[in-house]
Structure 1
Amino acid sequence: MIITSDNMSAKEIVNDLKENYAKVRKLIDEDSKNDPENEPYVSKYKAKDILNNMRDVLGNIAESESGLTRVQIDALKGAVMLSIGSVDMETEDFTGCEKALKEAEDILLPSALEPEVIILLVNVQNNLGLLWSFRDEAERAKTYLLSSKKNCEDFKATMRMPVPIETILGIATPADDTIITDFMCLEKAHTLTLYYLAQVYGTLKESLKSAIYCHVTLRRQLMYKDYEPIEWSLNCATLSQFFVEQNGFYQSRYHLAAASTILDRYEAELLAVDVNDDAHLAKKETLKHRYADVARCWIKYCIMLMSASKERLMSDADTVTDATTDMSNLTFEDTENICEGDLKQLTFPDLDVSKYEQKIGDKYLLTYEDAREVFLCCQGWLDKAKDYYRADTLASDHIELVQDSSQAYAYLAFFEEDDERRAKMYKRRVDMLEDLLKEVNPTYYLMYCRQLWYELGEVYSEILNIKLDKLNKSKEKPTPHILKKINMLCEKSIENYDKFLDSVKDKNGVMPVKLESDVVRPAINAYAYIGRNSMKRIAVDKNAQLSHVKKSYECYQGVVDICKNDPEAANMMKEEYTLCQEMVNILPLKIKKLEKELVA
């Protein structure tokens, strides 16, 4: 039955609204968690029925008979429509959700700067932003979220305290200090606005603005002590990955250091509790897992710093002197007053992260000693990550960590000037990759096996080139041992590239007419490497020489076939395609010559 205000006193009206609102909150916040699987929304539908009743009551209520002001009545109407819209969103009735939220916004906007309204209005516009994000309408979502942000900031400029709906209804709050609680209701809603804006700007490909909003969200969570340590650390470490990809190593290191610092704090809290029940042990296991995840972000930081330093040293000398690893000097047009246009403000003022910042630098590497420090730091993080991601339990992650370790050796080798020591580093890569392949079943991990075969082909080629350079520089006649070593390196490189190419072919051993886009480049490179390395094999016997040249010709022809069948591949690999076309024209002459010599 719909209760009207005709036969009720002011006190009874408010008490009835209070009682029904409490029922709604219990149904949504508590009872809904225990709904049966076959009726997952039964509690929320019950709540919606009560909310509709409350809406009808509020539609007929007058200020004089309720003892409430017009603003308070509008706030209650807005709260009811916000709750209806939230239920509709959770039950995926997006049309009903939009209608309810727009009605709430229309009711609340005229009193936007009133203390009773501001918390509700911010939440309504946040939900409208979320709704349009679900509908892939990022620009429309942004409009609502920026309006929510402005309304909140305008209200705070009035220096008045917000009044939540519970206070209007006289619902007691468990907190000791209701003023702080009321203030935090608004601040939490505002933090959510900034978080949603970070997601929306990410969708709109405005990556820097998205990253800044992410940072501000994290900073506010720390400031108001409104965060879960592990989730906060993961989000902070994830944000560091954006900065490292922009060569903002200063910002990336800072956020990684912050993530590790918060995890350390949380670990200290867990250790201080002298219990060993299942819940506590589960927390410890989760912490170990997330420590490993943050370690992987540190690993990426180290590898990216070595990689960027290598690219910088190989680039034009003029760009080397101007290169910076700090994004603070970037010009940023801060029309929304996120960080006052100053990227130097992307810090957490009350968090000391020096313990981790001191462990590794953030500047480009110039010497082997510089690279070795980063390499050793990387190995330390790899050990931490491997301690959790073991081969027998989490194979995919373990494989990726071994690949990371191999890459770290590769970049360290770039900075090493001594050929013998460089070759030993490559040999270390060979050992770890081949040991890994012995443990990995291609049936279940074909993608990873492909990557490992290809990388081994590359590494053996690198060692081969070092040995050949040394042989060419030497004036002495090569020993049989050296010649055997060179041929072995050729064979090993070719063998691994062949395994990679065989994995791409169909069941009949035939290369597809058109390759998948992610396989085109490595397949063409593999063919080209085999073609070159086949010609590098040293053979006195004419039959062996002919076999090597024919193998080389087949591989160069393989590249030509791929590019003829796929114009996109030909365009992507122009240089390799041109070179292989030339070799396909030249090598038949050499093959004929060797065949004639054999006949003679």
Structure 2
Amino acid sequence: MIVTTDMTAKEIINDFKENYGKVRKLLDEDSKNDPENEPYTSKYKAKEILIKMRDALANTFSTESNLDPLKGDAMLGIVLLNIGIIDMETEELTASEKVLTEAEELLLPNSSKPEIVTTLINIDNNLGILWSNRDEPEKAKSYLLKSKEFYETFKCSMQMPLPIENIIHNTADSVTGDIMVLEKAYTLTLYYLAQVYGSLKEDLKSAVYCHVTLRRQLQYNDYEPVDWSLNSATLSQFFAERNGFFQSRHHLAAASTILDQYEAKLSEDSTNDEVMLAKKEQLKHRSADVARCWAKYCILLMTASKTRLMNDAETMSEAVTDMSNLQLEDNENICGGDIKNLIFPDLDVTKYENKIGDKFILTYQDAREVFLSCQSWLNKAKEYYKLDSLASDYIELIQDSSQSYAYLAFFEEDDERRSKMHKRRIDMLEDLIKEINPTYYLQCCRQLWYELGEVYSEILNIKLDKLNKTNEKPTPHLLKKINMLCEKSIENYDQFLNSVKDKNGMMPVKLDLDVIRPVISAYAFIGRNSMKRIALDKRTQLIHVKKSFDSYQAVVDICTRDKDAAKMMHVEFSLCQEMVSILPIKIKRLETELAA
């Protein structure tokens, strides 16, 4: 029962204690059991109590009482903070902004006091969330940076923060601080800043804040192992995509290390109830996801190494794989301005870091080691992701495996061995496409048809290069092989193109942006490969040239009616225009010779 007449400090605190206990029970326990059609029942009940508590405290300030004013502000600040959070969670953003702003103004004069600092940080954290929800990241950032400043200023004072549970002890009781409540609030500040910088497209700064959040969770043992590992592995992909293989490998190694620790802990528990089984299943699932991230790391390392070797000598001199060549505007001093500081110093991850390098690949032997690591991680992921239960994920794993063979082939100098690597890709992709239904997995089938067209073209080019390098007359077997490769490449590209056409077999007037490049590339490949087929008579040769002309003409037609396509594929458009003007002469000559 809340009383608003003259009360002693002890009575005021006891009253607050009793009612705040009811509020916490409603929010922390009862709200989980609210019916689906009335999801906010417990929150609204808690808000009613909080409003009465707010009014009672306001009346206390205007009457005679021996309550310490600072303690009174701290209690009222907590009440206003909770009202603001409930308003936000029940989608009353205007009301939430108003009460949180009121709470901030109340506590701001005492921002560095142990009783106030944690609540004030939580208030500005929530104002940051509120403005982020309104798609105002700059405004959200301003509140979160204030939270950060409050924390840093308080830490310099060498005081201990006081959580509300300690503040509302009876005055005769001893009052002790609790550093963890402050540290948890500040960790949330950093986490929200990571999200806000992501919204502001400051991706590197967002990644740095993500890392610091993860590091603090480890430091204060405040994390859930599976979630932490998945977040660390996901962050590793960001670093790898920017050639930060040093940071990427470290975050993946940390993820695997934490999962190992968690698995060991679960294995010590002999219980076998539903909760434990669910934990083990979650571990298996997320371990497969981390394995996929390791495989992506390997593929990205091979990709970047290939790109570097294919670039000019000037670029070759740059062998930076730790992002030390990137500039980070670290005016908030989040990592000391040194991106190489993005490690977890208290975690031993050498077991995993020693398994694979973080430097660019230069030789076939280097590539083979990365390739074998990639295959190992893909096989681990396939223990969980099966074609019959999680088809889309399984298909991606096969595609990743194919790509790893493609990059290994790049580093192989022997033509026969390169051809065998591409043949291995064909086997796995064709085996897969036989098992999946285009009706349900059309997008996947498109990707597979297109990739098969590419792989057959790769082997074709290897055979033709070998033929051009020798003065020997080609054998009938080799000629048959070349024609078969041409036909299989064209067949798969045609399958891909037919999947884009409408029911009448016509290409859409306006192509979707994501298919412009593959559609035009497929037509161009068909045009080239049709001309590479070896014909023993002029009639067959004429059929091949006409097929080539039709493919080049299709590109010209698409780019003529679609400015976006012409702009995106201007090089291919120009080459196809040239071929469309040349080939009719060849067609006419062949027709004349046949008529004669």
TM-score tier (shorter): over 0.9
Maintained 8 Å contact 1:24/1:51: yes
Alignment match of 1:452 (pick from 448, 454, 457)? 448
The 2-side partners of 1:376 and 1:507 are apart by: 44
Q: Which whole-Å CA distance do the structure 1 matches of 2:200 and 2:340 have between them?
A: 24
Deviation track 1:11-35 (CA, whole Å, cap 9, x = no partner) reads 3222111111111111111111111
Return the letter of the residue paired with 2:282: T
Give 1:314 deviation, angstroms: 0.5
1:80 aligns with: 79
2:407 counterpart residue number: 411
Partner of 1:37: 36
CA shift for structure 1 position 179: 4.8
Q: What is the CA-CA distance between 1:68 and the residue it aligns to? A: 2.0
* Contact 2:13/2:170 (8 A) holds in 1: no
SS of residue paired to 1:116 = coil
**1:88-143 deviations in Å (ceiling 9; x for gaps):** 01101101110110010010101101111011000000000000000000000000
- Name the CA shift for 1:541/1:466 in 2 (closer, same or farther; >3 Å): same
Query: What is the CA distance between 1:333 and its match in structure 2?
Result: 3.3
User: Helix, strand or coil: the match of 2:18?
Assistant: helix
Confirm or deny: 8 A CA contact 1:506 1:512 kept in the other structure: yes
Aligned-partner Cα distance in 2 for 1:168–1:477: 94
Q: Percent identity?
A: 71
Superposed counterparts of 1:393-404, under 5 Å:
393-404=389-400
Contact 2:93 2:130 in 1 (8 A): yes
**1:552 alignment partner, one of 537, 541, 548:** 548
Equivalent positions of 1:475-514 (< 5 A) are 475-514=471-510
Do structure 1's residue 564 and structure 2's residue 563 form an aligned pair?
no
Query: Residues of 1 paired with 2:509 and 2:123: CA distance?
Result: 55
Q: CA, structure 1 residues 179+213, in 2 after alignment: closer, same or farther (shift >3 Å)?
A: farther
Q: CA deviation at 1:329?
A: 5.4
**Residues 13 and 66, structure 1, Cα contact 8 Å, conserved in 2:** no
| Cα contact 2:232–2:255 (8 A) shared by 1 | yes
2:418 counterpart residue number:
422
Cα distance in 1 between the residues matched to 2:574 and 2:326: 41
Q: Which residue is 1:142 aligned to?
A: 141
Matches within 5 A, 1:266-277: 266-277=262-273
Q: CA deviation at 1:280?
A: 1.1
Tell me which of 259, 263, 267 is aligned to 1:263.
Answer: 259
Give, in whole Å, the separation in 1 of the partners of 2:131 and 2:170.
33
Letter of the structure 2 residue corresponding to residue 5 of structure 1: T
Structure 2 residue matching 1:115: 3-state secondary structure: coil
Letter in 2 for 1:40: P
Supply the distance in 1 between the matched residues of 2:154 and 2:363 (Cα, whole angstroms): 55
> Within 1, Cα distance between the matches of 2:520 and 2:400?
24
Corresponding letter in the other structure for 1:202: G
Deviates more, 1:60-69 or 1:369-378: 60-69
Change in 2 beyond 3 A, CA 1:533/1:330 = closer
Deviation string 1:131-162 (CA, Å, 9 cap, x unpaired) is 00000000000000000010011011111111
Deviations 1:355-379 (A, max 9, x none): 0000000000000001000000000
Letter in 2 for 1:244: A
Deviations 1:49-88 (A, max 9, x none): 1111011111111398443211111111111110100110
User: Bigger CA drift: 272-281 or 110-119?
Assistant: 272-281
Aligned-partner SS, 2:383: helix
SS at 2:308's partner residue? helix
Q: Aligned AA for 1:363? A: K
- The 1:234–1:357 alpha-carbon spacing in structure 2 relative to 1, beyond 3 Å, is same
State the Cα distance separating 1:344 from its structure 2 match: 2.5
TM-score by length of 2: 0.98
Query: Alignment partner for residue 457 of structure 2, among 461, 473, 488?
Result: 461
Q: Which residue of 1 aligns with 2:319?
A: 323
1:330 shift after superposition: 4.1
Secondary structure at the counterpart of residue 322 of structure 1: coil
Spell out, residue by residue over 1:453-473, the C-alpha distance to the aligned partner (whole angstroms, 9 max, x if none): 000000000101111111122
Please state whether the residue corresponding to 1:524 is helix, strand or coil.
Answer: helix
Q: 1:171 to 1:369 in 2, by over 3 A?
A: farther
Provide the residue aligned with 1:166 in structure 2: 165
Q: Tell whether the 8 Å contact from 2:125 to 2:143 is kept in structure 1 after alignment.
A: yes
In structure 2, stretches of 5+ residues that fail to align are none
How many Å separate the matches in 1 of 2:10 and 2:226?
46
Over the aligned positions, Cα root-mean-square deviation in angstroms equals 1.5
For 1:380, give the aligned amino acid: S
Q: CA deviation at 1:336?
A: 0.7
Is the Cα contact below 8 Å between 2:556 and 2:577 reproduced in 1? Answer: yes
Alignment of 1:124-523 (within 5 A): 124-170=123-169, 179=176, 182-328=178-324, 330-523=326-519
The CA distance in 1 between the partners of 2:36 and 2:407, in whole Å, is 53
SS at match of 1:281: helix
The change in CA–CA distance for 1:122 and 1:496 in structure 2 (over 3 A counts) is same
Q: Shift of the alpha carbon at 1:323?
A: 2.4
Distance 1:337 1:386 in 2: 42
- Partners of 1:265 and 1:2 lie apart in 2 by 49
Letter in 2 for 1:457: G
Given residue 166 of structure 1, which amino acid in structure 2 is its aligned partner? E
Aligned length: 594
CA distance in 2, matches of 1:399, 1:460: 20
3-state SS in 2 of match to 1:68: coil
**2-side partners of 1:387 and 1:557: how far apart?**
47
* 1:171 shift after superposition: 8.6
Query: Per-residue CA shift, 1:493-541, capped at 9, x if unaligned?
Result: 0000000000010010001111001100110110000001111111112
The answer for the alignment partner of 1:4 in structure 2 is 4
1:379 partner letter = Q
Partner of 1:18: 17
Q: Which moved more, 1:333-342 or 1:516-525?
A: 333-342
Indicate the residue corresponding to 1:90 in structure 2. Answer: 89
Distance 1:421 1:434 in 2: 20
The TM-score with structure 1 as length reference comes to 0.97
Alignment partner, residue 106 of structure 1: 105
Counterpart of 1:581 in structure 2 is 577
How many angstroms does 1:3 deviate by? 3.1
Q: Counterparts of 2:394 and 2:471 in 1: how far apart (Å)?
A: 46
Cα distance in structure 1, aligned partners of 2:515 and 2:300 = 23
> Taking structure 1 as reference, are residues 171 and 218 closer, same or farther at Cα in structure 2, changes over 3 Å only?
farther
**Would you identify which runs of 4 or more consecutive aligned residues in structure 1 move more than 6 Å?**
none
Q: What are the Cα deviations for residues 170-197 of structure 1, in whole angstroms up to 9, with x where unaligned? A: 299xxxx9857x2100100000000000
Question: 2:57 — aligned with what?
Answer: 58
8 Å contact kept, 1:152–1:190: yes
Secondary structure of the equivalent of 1:60? helix
